[in-house]
Structure 1
Amino acid sequence: MPTLIMYQVDAFADRAFQGNPAAVLILEDWLADDVMQAIANENNLAETAFARRNGKGWDLRWFTPVHEVDFCGHATLATAHVLASQHNVADDMAFATRVGELRVSQRQGAYQLDLPCFPPQPVDGETVSALRDILSPHPVAGFRNFENLFVEFADEQSVRSFVPDLLRIGAFHPLGARRAPFVRPGRRSCADPGSRQDLHEGGNLPSGMKVGSGRRSGRGKAGAR
């Protein structure tokens, strides 16, 4: 096996030991899948990113400690930081991934990521029933957005009073679910951003995708260590 250089980058931070960490390896070609998985498992970070040149840009893949995932935002920013700071890539970067092309540009010392759109779709009745069995207050509906599950509660108070049982949620779906208030058409919820969060945040579960359902840009700095 060749000697490889691996970087650990703290995305959304301007100094070490803050932000959201990811490991990054820039390769000449892919390693065997089981080798990349073993590296990610040993790193025990939310994601380890592997990138290689593809002629026009870069191929990019992400692994959690337990499996390969189709998308990870902060590890994409971390990869862009490594390419810019260690491989002298000054132009906008295009990453070919399982979910299509992701573009990262550099703006005033930060990185801007154009995120893809994954509109939530309703889940079937059986899944909604299973969600009601493990969540209290009971959700009124469920949706799937790419790899994440979303649950809809009847009102804002249900959202604010909800306390996730991480073990039961993890057993139901390893990437967690997301909670959000129900808003009737024509009305606005006064829920603050803190009322929307990944149900597995703070728990011993792999981090999942943390993007919304609409196409948008994410900005962040990164500090390598």
Structure 2
Amino acid sequence: MTQKIYQVDAFTDKVFSGNPAAVCPLDHWLEDELLQKIAKENNLAETAFYVKDQDQYQLRWFTPKVEVDLCGHATLASAFVLFNHEGHKGDIIHFHSPRSGRLTVVKQSQLLTLNFPTDTIEEIALTSEILDGFSLAPISAYKGKTDYLLVYNSESDVVSLKPNLEVIAALPVRGVIVTAMGEHVDFVSRFFAPQSGIDEDPVTGSAHTTLTPYWSNVLDKKDMTAIQLSDRKGYLKCTYLKDRVEISGQCVLYMTGNINLN
């Protein structure tokens, strides 16, 4: 048995940047254990699997270690594959995630726009467990549904801070977002999730469901630009729609192939 696979760089317009995701179109769901093994073998931040279901697509995401509730860049990559390589007709795709519900992606020329549920955040204390995770202390901290959000004074702080991955891995969250106001965009960020098998994620679409409402409130803006400052860098446009957020970016195809599952 062979399984088709694509590798796509998301939130970028050139290969070797943005966030790579594997995408596997399925005719039917394989066993969860096999899905996890494929994701582990791919050794990318996320592998997305989808199955067509009438007028929508059921969608799931796996890191090398676990299935996750929401993944932006692999959703963007899945839409790119459907629009450009798997024959989807029209300019809108309706996904359904068993863990996150309704997700849509709209195509406008080369730009793809995710529509995701907005995260809800609350300010929390800067505990020693949080402070010990980073070489620089943030000015404030927040807790979302799955992640911590740490706010810093400047873009240079976000660039220069060093994570203590062992400490971060022990925190009771999916991962930690660090952010500051940007010098050339509205805001910048980085994302660390060693507890999910990802030391530093190149570009994290789902983190922007947390970042977008936070910075919309701080900057009093609905439409914003953002850069995730990993080594590969990712470029995003974000729009705050109260209970939903729009996250836009481009994708490029890196590789197509077949997995041998004999």
Fold conserved (TM > 0.5)?
yes
| Larger RCO of the pair (alpha carbons < 8 Å, separation 6+) | 2
1:43-85 per-position Cα deviation (integer Å, ceiling 9, x unaligned): 0011100000122301100001111111111111111111122
**Structure 1 counterpart of 2:252, which letter?**
A
Aligned partner of residue 39 in structure 1, secondary structure: helix
Once the two structures are superposed, the pairs formed by residues 46-195 of structure 1 within 5 Å of their partners are: 46-91=45-90, 92-97=92-97, 98-123=99-124, 128-139=127-138, 141-152=140-151, 155-156=153-154, 159=157, 163-173=161-171, 175-181=174-180
Residues 52 and 58 in structure 1, CA contact (< 8 A), matched pair in contact too = yes
Shift of 1:139: 4.0
The whole-number CA distance in structure 1 between the counterparts of 2:52 and 2:127 is 43
Structure 1 pair 65–156 and aligned structure 2 pair: CA distance change class (3 A): same
Q: Which moved more, 1:36-45 or 1:79-88?
A: 79-88
The whole-number CA distance in structure 2 between the counterparts of 1:112 and 1:89 is 16
Shift of 1:191: 5.8
Residues 159 and 195 in structure 1, CA contact (< 8 A), matched pair in contact too = no
Aligned partner of residue 83 in structure 1, secondary structure: helix
Q: Give ranges in structure 1 of 5+ residues lacking alignment.
A: 182-188
Aligned partner of residue 75 in structure 2, secondary structure: helix
Once the two structures are superposed, the pairs formed by residues 21-60 of structure 1 within 5 Å of their partners are: 21-60=20-59
**Structure 2 counterpart of 1:205, which letter?**
D
The whole-number CA distance in structure 2 between the counterparts of 1:190 and 1:37 is 37
Match of 2:223 in 1: none
1:186-214 per-position Cα deviation (integer Å, ceiling 9, x unaligned): xxx6866597422539x961635431243
Structure 1 pair 39–108 and aligned structure 2 pair: CA distance change class (3 A): same
Query: Do structure 1's residue 200 and structure 2's residue 192 form an aligned pair?
Result: yes
Structure 1 pair 45–10 and aligned structure 2 pair: CA distance change class (3 A): same
Shift of 1:140: 5.1
How many corresponding residue pairs? Answer: 213
**Structure 2 counterpart of 1:165, which letter?**
P
1:68-126 per-position Cα deviation (integer Å, ceiling 9, x unaligned): 11111111111111112222112210010122211111211332222321122234x5x
Residues 136 and 161 in structure 2, CA contact (< 8 A), matched pair in contact too = no
Residues 179 and 190 in structure 2, CA contact (< 8 A), matched pair in contact too = no
Aligned partner of residue 36 in structure 1, secondary structure: helix
Shift of 1:166: 3.5
Aligned partner of residue 38 in structure 2, secondary structure: helix
Give TM-score scaled by structure 1 length.
Answer: 0.79
Over the matched positions of the two proteins, sequence identity in percent amounts to 31
The whole-number CA distance in structure 2 between the counterparts of 1:157 and 1:222 is 27
Aligned partner of residue 4 in structure 1, secondary structure: strand
Could you say which structure has the higher strand fraction?
2
